[in-house]
Amino acid sequence: MIIIKQNYTLHHEKTRCTGDNMKFAQKTAHLSSAIFAQLKTKKIERLASGKEVMDFSIGTPDLPPPRHVIDVIRQEIENPDNYKYAIKDLPELTEAVIGWYQKRFGVSLEPEEITSLFGSQEGLGHIALTLVDPGDVALIPDPGYPIFHVGPMIAGARLYKMPLLRENHYLIDLDRIESTVAHQARLMIVSYPNNPVTATAPPEFYEKLIWFAKKYDIAIIHDNAYCELIFDGPPGGSILNIPGAKDIAVEFNSLSKSYNLTGCRLAFAVGNREMIGHLKNLKSHLDYGIFLPLQKAAIAAISGPQDCIRETVQIYRRRRDILIDGLVSLGWKVDKPPATMFAWAPLPDGYQSSMHFALELMDRTGVLVVPGSSFGDLGEGFVRFALVQPEEEIKKALAAIKASGMISRTQVTNT
């Protein structure tokens, strides 16, 4: 390492820095401000002009966290000792994660195979820094949740996009990845049930994925944020159930959607101990651990009664049915999502740009959705609805869409 020594003298009396010549790093200069921040600005502008917004954009649940979790936070914030740096995960938290994975997924974990995260988003961003050097290839899905490309991009990776196509049930087609690319790849990000396309993946897919990853020595990151939100088909599983997965894979599992705790920023990475070790080491330089009342809230969530999850799924299922049945009856052909808290809707006839459509929809109806293009090139042609509004609001949104006349009845012929 080269350390440049310099004599620092303060010249602030002579020169005033205006910032005009400031240079910014290439690795972040090309990041556009996240789409959710842009949509929020639009929403605020519209609300300021006195107009209504029915917000189906961000996937942050409108449902409350379980009562017993709130009670733990309330009790623990009264304890002054809980305001110190946590530094590490409490041993009781690690034990709770071990119990949760055993009970829920039948997966045995050791403490070295677990780290907490300030939400999966933080972990997905940071783990890429531990796995790729500038120029290495990272395999990411298209469309994909934005941090899937932003993390590797900041780490300097070359991105290779794996198409998720409707005709392939939105599964990654591993046979289509050229072996020259696979040999250069250090990291692959996979996520089912999938945001935004809502698809689930069968065990055979994961078996092939692990075989492929081992063949080419590619670290797998499986984002399992929606494992509890499945409407049709068998319950969600863990990639770590697949034999050999722990040799090559880490799973991210978030409490955000399963327990309606998005604002608490609570998630875990579990699996391959070397990968977890490197991530923990990096994080030990960046943060001092999760606020202790929230660590205790996480213990309460994953070890306490789980009926809140069933109730949440029922609520989303009803909302899904009202929204999709309603859109289809208007002539907008949208498939019923089998999982997640989203609907992935192809643009109605006559529209090509998802951004234009989303803006027009907001202008003419007050309904706010996310343009599919913000999830990658193959997201163009779609918009994403998040099922984060109560049934009455969904009905109101359907009525507004109907009144706008934006949907042509001819689409009904596709059904």
Ligand X SMILES: Cc1ncc(COP(=O)(O)O)c(C=O)c1O
Query: Which residue, 125, 64, 145, is CA-closest to 342?
Result: 145
CB of 19 to ligand X, least distance (A): 32
Q: State the DSSP H helix or E strand holding residue 273, giving kind and residue range, or none if neither.
A: helix 273-286
Candidate list 57, 94, 116, 121; residue touching ligand X; CB under 6 A: 121
Residue 89 in 3-state DSSP?
coil
CB of 142 to ligand X, least distance (A): 14
Question: Which span sits near ligand X by CB under 6 A: 254-262, 292-300, 302-310, 368-376?
Answer: 254-262
Question: Which span sits near ligand X by CB under 6 A: 101-109, 113-121, 171-179, 290-298?
Answer: 113-121
Is 223 a binding residue for ligand X by CB under 6 A? The answer is: yes
- b/e burial code for range 3-31 (CB count within 10 A of at least 16 → b): eeeeeeeeeeeeeeeeeeeeeeeeeeeee
Place of tokens 């029922």: 314
* Spatial strand order in the sheet of 185-190: 114-117, 267-271, 249-254, 219-223, 185-190, 137-142, 158-163
- In the complex with ligand X, the residue whose CB is nearer, 144 or 346, is 144
Is 116 a binding residue for ligand X by CB under 6 A? The answer is: no
Q: What's the CA gap between 189 and 170, in Å, rounded?
A: 14
CB neighbours (10 Å) of residue 1? 2
CB of 145 to ligand X, least distance (A): 4
CB of 232 to ligand X, least distance (A): 19
Is 253 a binding residue for ligand X by CB under 6 A? The answer is: no
Is 38 a binding residue for ligand X by CB under 6 A? The answer is: no
Beta-carbon contacts of 37 under 8 Å, excluding residues fewer than 6 positions away, are none
Q: Are 300 and 72 in contact (CB under 8 A)?
A: yes
CB of 209 to ligand X, least distance (A): 17
CB of 123 to ligand X, least distance (A): 8
Candidate list 138, 267, 294, 406; residue touching ligand X; CB under 6 A: 267
What is the maximum span of the chain, computed from C-alpha positions, in angstroms?
75
CB of 302 to ligand X, least distance (A): 14
Is 236 a binding residue for ligand X by CB under 6 A? The answer is: no
Candidate list 82, 184, 262, 303; residue touching ligand X; CB under 6 A: 262
Candidate list 145, 160, 259, 375; residue touching ligand X; CB under 6 A: 145
Interactions with ligand X, residue window 57-76 (CB under 6 A): 59
CB of 270 to ligand X, least distance (A): 14
Q: Cα torsion for 133, 139, 140, 142, to the nearest 10°?
A: 140
Residue 382 in 3-state DSSP?
strand
Q: What's the CA gap between 164 and 99, in Å, rounded?
A: 34
Candidate list 94, 115, 116, 120; residue touching ligand X; CB under 6 A: 120
Beta-carbon contacts of 224 under 8 Å, excluding residues fewer than 6 positions away, are 191, 236, 238, 239, 251, 252, 253
Q: Are 227 and 238 in contact (CB under 8 A)?
A: yes
- In the complex with ligand X, the residue whose CB is nearer, 57 or 272, is 57
CB of 118 to ligand X, least distance (A): 8
Classify the C-alpha dihedral 208-209-211-215 as positive or negative: positive
Is 53 a binding residue for ligand X by CB under 6 A? The answer is: no
CB of 230 to ligand X, least distance (A): 14
* Spatial strand order in the sheet of 382-386: 342-346, 382-386, 370-371
Candidate list 119, 293, 326, 337; residue touching ligand X; CB under 6 A: 119
- In the complex with ligand X, the residue whose CB is nearer, 244 or 263, is 263
Question: Which span sits near ligand X by CB under 6 A: 33-41, 117-125, 276-284, 358-366?
Answer: 117-125
Is 225 a binding residue for ligand X by CB under 6 A? The answer is: yes
- In the complex with ligand X, the residue whose CB is nearer, 148 or 216, is 148
Candidate list 256, 354, 374, 389; residue touching ligand X; CB under 6 A: 256
Q: What's the CA gap between 192 and 242, in Å, rounded?
A: 14
Question: Binding residues for ligand X, how many (CB under 6 A)?
Answer: 13
One symbol per residue from 175 to 194: x for binding ligand X (CB under 6 A), - otherwise; what is it?
----------------x---
**Where does this chain bind ligand X (CB under 6 A)?**
59, 119-121, 145, 191, 195, 223, 225, 254, 256, 262, 267
